[in-house]
Chain A
């Protein structure tokens, strides 16, 4: 029998890890000479108590849902996709090409076109390392991380040498035409009569696409035969072979779905927020996806919650950087600690909990 009840595994272990990470972060804040309690207050005020704060938080959350789902899908096939960053960059390129070169009559069509473009480009970018892994045995961790650098180079080339309007000094593409602009939460709230809500916050309709993606991935992983095969291959390659599952095919498909999801992050950042292709728009979201997937236990619901949490941390961190001496990098430190505790040190967290539950069980007997 499993030692711990399921809810402990799903809820208590990640919360406990988070608590440990927050505790260490608090010590760091103390060392800087600031008050951790005041910092937490500031974070809550700046994100949860203002609608604009929510608008920023959900904007980041949207990114993290896409990259978190992407890493999860790969995890289910026992593949570690740390190339989300690069796949998102190339996805952004796809969005830019679709938005700049196809005349869209309305944003509803444009977002569909951009989604396809983003997914396709991300898919191709993940497909290359997937092919190298499946056919040549090149380790996916190595290749995907290398592909991040190549993607950054490709992005610079396209932005600076191809898409930058002549005469512009700014390394960015031309602005996308207005018919491709996505309604933000502010626009939606105004339509409903709340003129002041979400003022100038970047959250936009792609948040709903991210939510839809959560549901779709849940169905894919837990209800479809393809998801069954992905999970089977992830758990045991030998068993998958016995069952007639083709490892090459499944590795390719899982990675391409993963890449497509990463690419789709760009509809939020590139089409939704910047409305032109800029450099460094991914802001590390591809890597945060790893923390989100680990913390969300590779389950879409967990990914959604973890993405909300990281959205909060990200926006809260920006507030801290604005009002205190605490640098924004503190949030990166917290993320790193969460990854450390939920990933590498999860046994450290689990072991005492397991012992605790064992003693309860013994007491029952």
Chain B
């Protein structure tokens, strides 16, 4: 007997206006397997899954579940067909308990308590069946991200999902949490569930999937058995050309310290301490990578150094103290004058004005500098435009159109605009947060090269990233942050992912050794 595929998409097409997001996509996923879908941002992965979950309607194509053709007009229909989705950003009510969140939207009657007790019993079975233990009475905001993700998975299973779609599930997890997630997924596969894993991380595909589909520019370029392919091969299929996955760099030649941070403390508007006695130093010609799970104080560190968050302590740039007391009043331009350039973590919210044209963005933060002024009153727009064209050309921004608004560039090119602006000023210290988040592989290679080139020109670089791979391959020295503290510093040659992962989870350095 031939088995029906758990899910089969036939010739799915979808366009948004003139943009064709999915073109003739065909996928077959057999039951009891883990199928990976990999592709760069904008390749159409999320659109495809949104069609499967009933958020969008395909312009053309058919969907089969267990061999039966179905239509999925909304997410209720998807749930009824046994499809469950775990979103990248969890859809949980923060101040509800685990149990309440699981029942939400699936209540069985007008009264809540019968639903809750039914769910409690069900949860106990699920927990034993799949080793998915959570405390049903815990409040969501009190439990960790890994736990919250489990709740999302349980929510899907409680709704009798046989097919589970996970969208970039490891983005917010520590390596250890990601390992746990993968154990759960393997367990689910053993029990016969079908899993579709959407990711842009090659390693995850190689580690856990049985089959993998590669998407590029809305099209399915290949479907392969995972054990018959390699990361290099997948990367090439994703980008359409050969790419260098490793960063090519010579050993650092560090000189005098450029940035010296001592006992930095910071409290946010709600009085929560976000930085706790942080001390770090970065020397000229050196990249210091700060690793950590998102939300452990890295953003605040950048904001303080970038000059738009108040803090206590001492920060010196090339030996001279900088004023940390200005806070939100904004001292960003003074910091820039002191030779600090800053590539912020969120380029779309902070680094660029999305509605401004590329040339206007090319002086953002430096717009009051003498070189950009025609006279005392006005900016020299012609000169800025010309300069922008040259800068963007050197950073290979495509399309090379300085009159295009920032929002019309792809993620990678937006990041190149920010980098061009910050690096071309030849700063003494470059603060760079998540340099390759949401950036396609081809551009990652280029961005990494630019950062290393700046280091080789004898500049200091403070790199913050949640991608451990990026930290390990770029940094000359690694510091790990957890809960606003520096958990320890390591040399990349003398550490490994496991040790860093433990530090990221807050297990102190001594315990590791």
Contacts and interface: CB of A to CB of B under 8 A. Distances in A.
A3 B16 CA distance: 12
Contact of A241 (B308, B352, B368): B308
Contact of A239 (B307, B335, B364, B381): B364
A342 to B, nearest CB: 19
Contacts of A361: 18
B335 A232 contact: no
A356 interface: no
Contacts of B17: 3, 358
A216 B45 CA distance: 50
Given A236-B349, A236-B354, A246 B368 contact: no
B18 A225 contact: no
A229 interface: yes
A224 B350 contact: no
A243 B365 contact: yes
Contact of B373 (A1, A225, A229): A225
B282 to A, nearest CB: 21
Given A224-B377, A224-B378, A225-B373, A246 B354 contact: no
A77 B350 CA distance: 16
Given A229-B367, A236-B353, A239-B349, A244 B334 contact: yes
Contacts of A238: 346, 349-350
A347 B513 CA distance: 62
A225 B364 CA distance: 10
A219 B376 CA distance: 13
B351 interface: yes
Contacts of A224: 377-379
Residues of A contacting B: mostly: helix
Contacts of A243: 332-333, 364-365, 367
A80 B93 CA distance: 33
B385 to A, nearest CB: 13
Interface in A227-266: 228-229, 231-232, 235-236, 238-239, 241-248
Interface string A352-365: 00000010011001
Interface in B351-382: 351-356, 360, 364-365, 367-368, 373, 377-379, 381
8 nearest A-B residue pairs (beta carbon) = A244-B332, A244-B333, A243-B365, A242-B350, A246-B330, A223-B378, A235-B353, A241-B308
Interface of A: 1-3, 219, 223-225, 228-229, 231-232, 235-236, 238-239, 241-248, 358, 361-362, 365
Interface of B: 17-18, 306-308, 328-336, 342, 344, 346, 349-356, 360, 364-365, 367-368, 373, 377-379, 381, 405, 408
Given A2-B405, A223-B378, A241-B332, 12 more contacts: A2-B408, A231-B356, A232-B364, A236-B349, A238-B349, A239-B364, A242-B308, A244-B334, A244-B336, A244-B365, A245-B330, A248-B329
